[in-house]
Structure 1
Amino acid sequence: MQSRRTILRAGAGLALTATAVGVGTLPVFADATGSGTGWAGLAARIQGDIVLPVDPGYNAAKELQIAAFDAVHPQAIAYPETPQDVQALVNYARNNGISVRVRSGGHNFNGWSTGEGLVIDTSRLNHATVGTSTVKIGPGLQSIDALHALAPYNKQVIAGTCPTVAPGGFISGGGIGFQTRKFGLGSDRLRSAQIVLADGRLIRASETSYSDLFWALRGSGGGNFGVVTEFEVAPIDQPRMVFFSTMWAWDKAEQVFAAWQTWQLNASVNLGSALIYNLPDAAPGNVPMVIITGGYHGPESEAQAALAQLTSLVGAQPTSTFASDLPYADAMKTAYGCGDLTQEQCHREGTGAEAHLHRTAFQRDAYRMFNQPFTPTQISTVLSTLDSNRVAGQRRVVHCMAVGGNANNVSPTATAYVHRQANFVIGYVGQLDAPTPESEAAASAFVQTGADVLNPISNGAYVNFPGSSLPDWATQYYGDNYLRLKKVKKAYDPNNFFRHPRSIGSLGQ
């Protein structure tokens, strides 16, 4: 099956426990003085662990999904297990002038969840508590683990298309996936958030309490206002899903793009899908794969009728078609590319004894949002950019996701997520398995060429898919909401304690 994870690796292969998620067995090392102060004193005050550079597990602890960020060397990586742990960590860092980055799943394309100071890793805050009308989940609860934890209760939450993404970043940035058009964004279903602020206070933000912060937490992106320790969300009622995956001939690539746009724009909100042009190795002569995959949140008969309509719009038969009506958790597991893996195996290598999923060595991205469908000329330009100036060893992808639907039945100012007219998120991705300075430069140049194609016709950018280069990022991510976000930042983090290269209020923006 072709998930976003497997597609972006292109042929590299395909019980909730603290030790399986978050390097739960790493020891804590004392500071060099042995005085009981410093990191050792902090470690004694928290239930979780602190990993220092002297720890033999340090190199594994600082890993993100993209291995290029292994070059960053934090002073410490902390694994809090309670909100009080987070408070102690924030207070210590603030009082000692240590910068902080917040990490949940570690998937940020630009490495915003690591830095030279203290990394607060929330992977052990991975609980799922089912209430009468809401579900409370930890920021480190990875999507694959949420599926298993919630399935016995016949409840699920909005998630993306990668099994190891966690709510800490996903919900904070908006949260899109195959469910978006029917159930809205992940952040639209947020009912409250427990968060540790820069001054160390632990508060709960909602529509009726700290409402300005609650507004900002729904679409601003992670790492801006504090460390969220719990999300309370409205679950979705979706007992089954039809997962489908179709492949098409490369000589029909332009027809498929045009047909997919029309198909999605006129489809039931039950339909969520992605269109992927995947070139596993950009050596001359290799033929890109053309894939349309997704989930239908309705009867299988309707899904089959929709797929038949797609074939009619393309005007050609797919080279392969797969569709299966499955219990929702099984369907999403299949969509994640983990249909043949256990829950424990469906985690990033290095995070558990059985973890199987590969990391990405090097990656550059250029994603933008679009309100209108592409013209035939624009489609031709997008695809010729993918196919031109081939470089052996590069993995090239044009990745297109359908959004809109019920997510657009919300005012652009109702939450920090402003893109309520967008129907598509489309981007170029360049990856390398064995990067060298020369190949990195070439892959970056490919993605920049793609960005230059998309920029003039786009309607903004999605903060959870941050581009490697992005002009006027504040306007691209947040539009007119940015001024309000800066006011919230000043109210709750006046000294800009929580920051990264594109955080709210950074670099004078």
Structure 2
Amino acid sequence: MLDRRNLLRAGGVLAATVATGAAAGAPAAGAPAAGRRRCPDWSALRSRIQGDVVLPGDAAYDASKQLAIGEYDAVTPAGIVYGETPADVQAVVRFAQDNSLTLRTRSGGHNFAGWSTGEGLVLDVRRMNHVTGGGSPTVHVGPGTQSIEALGVLKQYGQGMVTGTCHDVCVGGYYSGGGVGYQSRPFGIGSDRMVSAKVVLADGRLVTASERSNPDLFWALRGSGGGNWGVLVDVEMRPISVPRMVFYEQIWSWDDAEKFLDTWQQWYRTTPRNSTGQVIVIQPDAGSGNPPIVLQQGAYYGTKEEADAGLAELAGLVGSTPATSKVLDLPFADGMQYVYGLAEGGSHPRTLWQRMRARIVDQPLGTAGTAAALAAFESAPRTGQTRYLSFVGLGGAVGDKAPTDTAFVHRGALFHIGYGVALPDASPTDEDVNAAVGWATTGFNVINPLSGGHSYINFPDMYLDNWQNAYYGVNYDRLKRLKRAYDPYRFFDHPRAIGN
């Protein structure tokens, strides 16, 4: 039977919630970093920090420079530093400036565009993975804490947190970009539950951002993406109370795909607020001739009877039944193990090369739009491409705030729709790259007119025009002003950083 674990193994690219947007540092006192100094005193840095410094030639270097996507193994940082304390982070920021080294910050390393690595210094915060205060109204979580780690700690207190759909996405990047996921519809996006954050700024200061302290920075940290303002070293957030979760997973026949997907979008729009869902159309090898797989997953934060009734209603509207169906009433943390594909001993194979082109939409595509989206999915079949078309459901509590309440502007979002493609080689040929990007762009061009031109910064698209409006909309001018105030020399920088 094709379960989620096997689909992940076949596809290798399903719905990873993104994590860390890269950071490139900004001089505290004056000049922006200009490039690599000939001989930085790495031994001096080692003596100042609790964490480790890994350099080219060290045994751990090749593994330390890896991100979640193999394509970026080709990047060769001057050094990778594992920060373990806020003081470590402060020392690394100052060291980078003193030695004219660019700085990128990495937590989970999932950034699709590779912004969490670079040729300068990479600051890895994954060892800052604390979870404290469980059982209290707020808890403190480190930026390098993986989703699965946080849920494991909070489980004993009957608490949870808003996470994405990939177990090793880390808090730092996920919250910085907003944080959409399996709990967004009933509980809001991750950053909406932030109470405060501790941040090391470009000038080396450790500051607290909250509604009362640096409120403008607090506003910006919630949805603008990582790598813009500083290095998060701690997040205080309100956990969610979710003792149980009814997880469901269904596979629908490709013959029913058009009717099902059109109906599902309408059905999802009116489902109860305590439910969430996604549909992923997957083709592990687009040149195999095998039909794509239509995978529906979701959760009800209610009773199994409620979930059964909702799924029966959907099947009735489609006029068909799924080929397979699984509905499980589980403790919340156990249910998330199924979301992550780990409940039955699964693992996530490393993606070697990947692109995704996506939009945020505020209404169903409609019958004609859905048919066109599936036709684009089937276009130009090519052996070796793993393809997916994902519809991630939003709505509900995502819209409880106004677009200008935080930097996350997409409050009318109903779906995040994306065309993703992966290749089995970290260094594919130009022909393979062009074919893969061309296919994803064909799909993007279908959904683009049906969207408001908005995209999600945690799923960066390196081919996107007018990205400033797509990611930030009416909030962009304010973000630019704040960038000039908090990082005037643009120490924290990457290709889609605020102001570029």
User: Shared fold (TM-score greater than 0.5)?
Assistant: yes
Cα distance per residue 1:265-319 (max 9 Å; x no partner)? 0010111111111011001521000111011111111011111111112110100
Q: Compute the displacement of 1:2 (Å).
A: 5.4
Q: Structure 1 residue 65 and structure 2 residue 56: aligned?
A: no
SS at match of 2:156: helix
Tell me by how many angstroms 1:377 deviates. Answer: 1.3
Q: Which has the higher contact order (CA 8 A, sep 6+)?
A: 2
Q: Contact 2:391–2:417 (CA<8 Å) still a contact in 1?
A: yes
SS in 1 for 2:127: coil
1:408-436 deviation per Cα after TM superposition (whole angstroms, max 9, x unaligned):
01110000000011100000000011353
Q: In structure 2, what is the Cα distance between the partners aligned to 1:274 and 1:500? A: 31
| 1:112 counterpart SS class | coil
**Partner amino acid for 2:465?**
P
Matched, 1:411 2:402: yes
Listed one character per residue, the Cα deviations across residues 330-376 of structure 1 (whole Å, up to 9, x for unaligned) are: 000111000023xxxx7xxxxxxxxx532101101001100111121
1:10 aligned onto 2:13: no
Q: How does 1:364-375 map to 2 (within 5 A)?
A: 364-375=355-366
Unaligned runs of 5+ in 1: 15-34, 347-355
The answer to whether the aligner puts 1:490 opposite 2:484 as a matched pair is yes
Alignment counterpart, residue 216 of structure 1, candidates 220, 226, 239 = 220
Aligned to 1:465: 459
Does residue 92 of structure 2 align to residue 89 of structure 1? Answer: yes
How far did residue 75 of structure 1 move? 0.6
- 1:13: how far off? 12
Residue 194 (1) aligns with residue 198 (2): yes
User: What letter corresponds to residue 321 of structure 1 in structure 2?
Assistant: S
Partner of 1:436: 428
Match of 2:58 among 48, 55, 58: 55
CA distances 1:175-225 after superposition (whole Å, capped 9, x unpaired) = 111110100000000000000000000011000000000000000011110
| Residue number in structure 2 paired with 1:264 | 268
Q: How far apart, in 1, do the equivalents of 2:13 and 2:478 lie?
A: 45
**TM-score normalised by length of structure 2:** 0.92
Give the whole-Å Cα distance in 2 for the aligned partners of 1:485 and 1:431.
33
Q: Secondary structure at the match of 1:73?
A: coil
Distance 2:393 2:11 in 1: 24
Which amino acid in structure 1 is aligned with residue 10 of structure 2?
A: A
TM alignment of 1:135-146, pairs within 5 A: 135-146=139-150
Show the counterpart of 2:25: none
1:69-115, Cα deviation, whole Å (9 max, x unpaired) = 11111111110110000000001111221111111100011111111
The answer to whether the Cα contact below 8 Å between 1:2 and 1:293 also exists between their aligned partners in 2 is no
Give the whole-Å Cα distance in 1 for the aligned partners of 2:374 and 2:9: 19
The answer as to whether partners of 2:420 and 2:440 remain within 8 angstroms in 1 is yes
Task: Select between 442-451 and 39-48 the one with higher mean Cα deviation.
Answer: 442-451
How far is 1:243 from its partner? 0.8
- 1:148-185 per-residue CA deviation (whole Å, 9 max, x = no partner) reads 12111221111000001001111110111111010000
- The count of aligned residue pairs is 472
RMSD of the TM alignment (CA)?
1.8
CA contact (8 A) 2:127 2:144 kept: yes
**Cα displacement (A) at 1:12:** 6.0
In structure 2, distance between residues paired with 1:452 and 1:100: 35
Residues 369, 447 of structure 2: 8 Å contact kept: no
- How far apart are residue 439 of structure 1 and its match? 2.0
Structure-2 separation of matches of 1:461 and 1:325 = 34
Distance 1:2 1:263, change over 3 A: farther
Pairwise mapping of residues 35-184 of structure 1 onto structure 2 (< 5 A)?
A: 38-130=41-133, 132-184=136-188
After superposition, the C-alpha distances for 1:212-239 in whole angstroms (9 at most, x for unaligned) are 0000000001111000000000000001
State the shift of 1:474 in Å: 0.6
8 Å contact kept, 1:362–1:440: no
Separation of aligned partners in 1, 2:122 and 2:413: 34
Query: 8 Å contact 1:138–1:167 — kept in the other structure?
Result: yes
Q: Report percent identity of matched pairs.
A: 48
Deviates more, 1:280-289 or 1:321-330: 280-289
Q: Is the 8 A contact 1:9 1:280 kept in 2?
A: no
Distance across 2 between alignment mates of 1:378 and 1:400: 13
Distance 2:145 2:288 in 1: 42
Whether the aligned pair in 1 keeps the contact of 2:251 and 2:294 (CA below 8 Å) is yes
The question of 1:230 aligning with 2:222 is answered: no
The secondary structure found in structure 2 opposite 1:478 is helix
| 1:500 counterpart residue number | 494
Higher deviation after alignment, 119-128 or 146-155: 146-155
Displacement after TM superposition at 1:6 (Å): 6.4
Partner of 1:479: 473
**What's the offset of the Cα at 1:455?**
2.1
* In 2: Cα distance, 1:302 partner to 1:420 partner: 27
Match of 2:449 in 1: 456
Post-superposition Cα deviations, 1:129-150, rounded to whole Å, max 9, x if no partner, equal 0152101000100011112121
Cα 1:12–1:499 shift into 2, 3 Å: closer
Q: Distance in 1 between matches of 2:66 and 2:187?
A: 33
AA aligned opposite 2:314 = L
Deviates more, 1:75-84 or 1:461-470: 461-470
Distance 1:223 1:398 in 2: 28
Q: Give the conservation status (yes or no) of the 8 Å contact 2:13–2:351.
A: no
Deviation, structure 1 residue 448: 1.8
What secondary structure, in the 3-state scheme, does the structure 2 residue paired with 1:140 have? coil
Task: Check whether the contact 2:9–2:348 (CA below 8 A) recurs between aligned residues.
Answer: no
Q: Which residue of structure 1 aligns with residue 33 of structure 2?
A: none
Stretches of structure 2 that go unaligned for 5 or more consecutive residues are 15-38
Matched residue SS, 1:171: helix
> Hey, what's the Cα distance between the residues in 1 that align with 2:182 and 2:214?
31
Residue aligning to 2:32: none
Is the CA contact 1:105–1:142 (under 8 Å) kept in the aligned structure 2? Answer: yes
Distance, in Å, in 1 between the alignment partners of 2:404 and 2:315 is 38
Partner in structure 1 of residue 36 of structure 2? none
Judged with a 3 Å threshold, the aligned counterparts in structure 2 of structure 1 residues 203 and 12 are, in CA distance, closer, same or farther, namely closer
Q: Is the 8 A contact 1:8 1:397 kept in 2?
A: no
AA of the residue aligned to 1:10: A
Q: CA 1:499/1:11 → structure 2, altered by over 3 Å: closer, same or farther?
A: closer
